[in-house]
Amino acid sequence: MDGPSIPTLSLDETNFERAINFFGIYDLEVEVGFEKKKTFLGTKSPRVCRFCHKTDKEVKFSNDAHVLPQFTGNRNLMSYFECNECNDRFSLYEDSLSKYIGITRTIHQVKGKSATKVPKFKNLKTGLELS
């Protein structure tokens, strides 16, 4: 066998129709697996923030902008299309979201930002602790 095998997926009629509709609307831009190297979406030049629509002449693009938050386990899917201001703003929302779904991250053993350990869950009201 040459190279990795690609798994096949069996779909019932309803989900097959959904897949056809989905791929009729959206184009596959990049396929991401568990690569060790960083993959960037967007173009490096000219840079335009997809959220505030400012260009690299108006704002900076020096932060590492993750397409999916790091707390979800994403280490390598990055974007060229998120300015520092928007990246900082959305990191506040991501922090709140990570705390909200904290127990899920612990149960599913999703490593935190440091990528070295799974966050411990502790509910101060009930005393419930998971690690």
Q: Are residues 80 and 94 in contact, defined by beta-carbon separation less than 8 angstroms?
A: no
The mean pLDDT of the chain is 83
- Is this structure's pTM higher than 0.85? no
Q: How many whole angstroms separate alpha carbon 98 and alpha carbon 7? A: 31
The separation between the first and the last C-alpha atoms of the chain, rounded to the nearest angstrom, is 41
pLDDT digits (tens, 9 = 90+) for 56-77: 999 999 999 999 888 887 888 8
What pLDDT is recorded for position 130? 77
pLDDT digits (tens, 9 = 90+) for 67-111: 988 888 788 889 999 999 999 999 989 888 887 887 887 887 777
Q: How many whole angstroms separate alpha carbon 72 and alpha carbon 56? A: 28
Is residue 1 very low, low, confident or very high in pLDDT (cuts 50, 70, 90)?
very low
Q: How many whole angstroms separate alpha carbon 58 and alpha carbon 85? A: 11
pLDDT digits (tens, 9 = 90+) for 16-47: 999 889 989 988 776 666 667 888 988 899 99
